[in-house]
């Protein structure tokens, strides 16, 4: 059995990943003066927003194979991309 990996399934491991994007808005004091709120901030956080790579349909950080010697990074056996998460937050100070 030939143990060499065929060149057709070898990809450049270079990638760029936007792991987290966070944007928030601080409500102006003039708006909060009418309420009993000292400060208020609203925001959104998005994780695993985008991956730019030449490797099709794979997140380069998530795939590896374990064997008796340990993890073998960069060896894909059906890896799937990381889940994208979106969180909204509201921070009120009374």
Percent of the chain, pLDDT > 90? Answer: 30
Confidence check: pLDDT of 1 > 50 = no
Whether 82 maps to a domain, the answer reads yes
CA distance 39 to 24: 13
Whether 2 maps to a domain, the answer reads no
Mean pLDDT of 17-29: 94
Q: Domain count for the chain, please give it.
A: 1
Whether 73 maps to a domain, the answer reads yes
Whether 61 maps to a domain, the answer reads yes
Domain containing 66 equals: 7-93
More confident residue, 72 or 30: 30
Positive or negative, the CA dihedral 52, 58, 62, 65 is negative
pLDDT interval class at 35 (50, 70, 90): confident
Mean pLDDT of 65-93: 74
Whether 72 maps to a domain, the answer reads yes
Q: For residue 25, what pLDDT is reported?
A: 97
């Amino acid at each position: 059995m030939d143990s060499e990996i065929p060149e057709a399934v070898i990809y450049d491991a270079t990638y760029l990943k936007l792991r987290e994007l966070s944007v928030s808005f601080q409500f102006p004091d003039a708006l909060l003066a009418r309420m009993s709120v000292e400060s208020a901030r609203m925001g959104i956080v998005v994780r695993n927003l985008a991956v730019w790579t030449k490797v099709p349909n794979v997140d380069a950080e998530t795939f590896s194979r374990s064997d008796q010697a340990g993890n073998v990074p960069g060896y894909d056996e059906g890896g799937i991309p990381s889940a994208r998460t979106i969180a909204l937050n509201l921070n009120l100070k009374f």
